[in-house]
Chains A and B, each alone.
Chain A
């Protein structure tokens, strides 16, 4: 789950990381008021969860409160990469001497947190990583010990920070580590961290991504979720504990297990069809969950057939079958269904479905071929 810049920076501030004075505004008048309170030049920054806001014209400087109001009203009317700008951050403008990069993330391959820093800040860090990987310093952190002071000093020295700034940098690095760790972030990034004309360090921009699996212990962060970036069907799916991703094809898929769900998409494509979605109904699927899954799949008007591929393990076949029937009672549909059921309690499940006259298949390739045939208006022998 991505957090907005203003949310990330508020969290950073709680961990002692200096951020510019500023406030978030939902209207142009509010933006003007904030600019008046700050008594300085301000930067008006659109709060949308995409990169390159600056290039899109979503970050602009304003010298007077009146101009801030005008700029804010223009930015608040924008859409950036399809996302509406609902809020702007009004920050005191800083006098920048130098821009650096500082970030914390999970290094999957090293199975450890990694702190990354670069003297080349303020630009797209992935681009730096691609073109000039040597310019990025990486320091792995022991997850049981946390960031050591010597590590922050090493980083400061590696990015050629003047010695008199090491202590200040150490506090920021430590704050970033603790923010990342306490919030279960998968990314916590300051880009740029600037050296101001007064030789102070300041986190001008902030970005955080929080591990969705950790939200049970972060109810405050869970409330910050911005639903604009998500498909309505994906939001609905999450309510039922389903993992759903909308795609552009016409064969709906309901599968138990993520690997099998991907495989089902792949085999549909292999046999000449196009999957309409990824959907994993997960382990221990109840009738309710299956019914909800079917409603979500059928809410896509492109869907011309639905392929159920259920291989019993944790998920019991009879429960799935009852779920399918309960869902069909509720969601009347003409869309043909191809159902493949194998594994724990599958026989009971197949019996239940056979009584309801559903198309059933035994192997995956057979099921995929049938689904591709019925989706293109063909018949199944």
Chain B
């Protein structure tokens, strides 16, 4: 069982006719996700994957025709903010944006806009969501996780797969895995997910995968100390990262002494969180 997505999710794919959009639509469908529609402006009326999924010109028309309630965005960075606004305006309540490289100021406007409505944005620059055995929204490989009671929250993509894989090798299952993304400004943060996992009866413990940059891990540590009854285990990437350099992710940068891995680890440990030295150590700490 899960947070955010499950077997009732009715998914719409924005950018379904692009290479990555189509590739991952096929993967999500094979996993068992209910995909009801795709959107590519100018291609409305077409069908993809041998007539399995109808394509619409706009999110609004797709929602009216199919009752989609969740959207996943595979649109290039220059069009992605508009795709998010379109999904919000069409009444989608859960938007998962995979796109990397959205300008920060665009994200500040997006963030401000979504705060005015009843909508949750996951990402951008994230691998999406996986509720093993039920539903996959995004690009997390489905075959590296099994259903279970561990919740995962991560700022990273492939590092998350690494952790899922390490858990599966130990036969440990996952309730939901949430990739919140590696950008400095995102739709959903650690605390949002910690609180959802705390309330989810099917999650017993939580893994928090952070990295250098910003102070979200420190804030999560405060939240854990004050509100979490379920145990939390963590790993923080970037202990060897030089200061002032952006480590791939737009948000992964140590600036003016802020964002250091060592401070995050210290804060988490002070909140009673066990912090792993490397990802393959995590299963042993659960």
Contacts and interface: CB of A to CB of B under 8 A. Distances in A.
A72 B108 CA distance: 43
A269 B239 contact: yes
Contact of B162 (A126, A268, A314, A364): A364
Given A213-B77, A283-B100, A312-B141, A259 B105 contact: no
A265 B241 contact: yes
Contacts of B237: 259-260, 262-263, 266
B166 to A, nearest CB: 8
Contacts of A144: 109, 112-113
B220 to A, nearest CB: 13
A113 B245 contact: no
Given A106-B108, A266-B237, A342-B165, A365 B141 contact: no
Interface residues of B, number: 61
If over half of B's interface residues share one DSSP class (helix, strand or loop), that class is named, otherwise mixed; here it is loop
Contact of A263 (B104, B185, B242, B278): B278
A262 B140 CA distance: 19
A211 B246 CA distance: 12
B104 A266 contact: no
Interface of B: 19-20, 24, 27, 77-78, 100-106, 108-109, 111-113, 127, 139-141, 144, 154-162, 165-166, 182, 184-185, 209, 211-212, 214-215, 235, 237-242, 245, 247-252, 256, 277-280
A67 interface: no
Contacts of A275: 240
Contacts of B256: 126
A313 B215 contact: no
A23 B272 CA distance: 59
Interface residues of A, number: 53
A213 B100 CA distance: 9
B159 A259 contact: yes
Contacts of A213: 77, 101-104, 250
Q: Which 7 interchain pairs have the tightest Cβ spacing?
A: A259-B156, A258-B248, A257-B158, A259-B159, A214-B103, A280-B248, A260-B158
B141 A142 contact: no
Contact of B105 (A184, A261, A262): A184
Contacts of A311: 158, 161-162, 165
A111 B78 contact: no
Interface string A174-218: 000000010010100000000000000000000000010110110
15 contacts: A106-B108, A109-B215, A143-B109, A144-B112, A144-B113, A216-B77, A217-B78, A217-B103, A260-B162, A280-B248, A284-B20, A314-B20, A314-B139, A342-B161, A342-B165
A346 B104 CA distance: 34
Given A143-B105, A211-B105, A106 B156 contact: no
B283 to A, nearest CB: 12
Contact of A258 (B215, B247, B279): B247
A12 interface: no
A52 interface: no
Given A106-B184, A266-B238, A278-B248, 18 more contacts: A111-B111, A143-B105, A214-B104, A214-B105, A255-B158, A257-B248, A260-B157, A260-B159, A260-B237, A266-B237, A266-B240, A268-B240, A278-B241, A284-B20, A314-B24, A314-B157, A342-B144, A363-B166
B241 A364 contact: no
A245 B247 contact: yes
A112 interface: yes
Contacts of A181: 105
A313 B277 contact: no
B208 to A, nearest CB: 13
A73 interface: no
B15 to A, nearest CB: 13
Nearest to B184: A108
Interface string A113-128: 1000000000000100
A215 to B, nearest CB: 9
A296 interface: no
Nearest to A281: B248
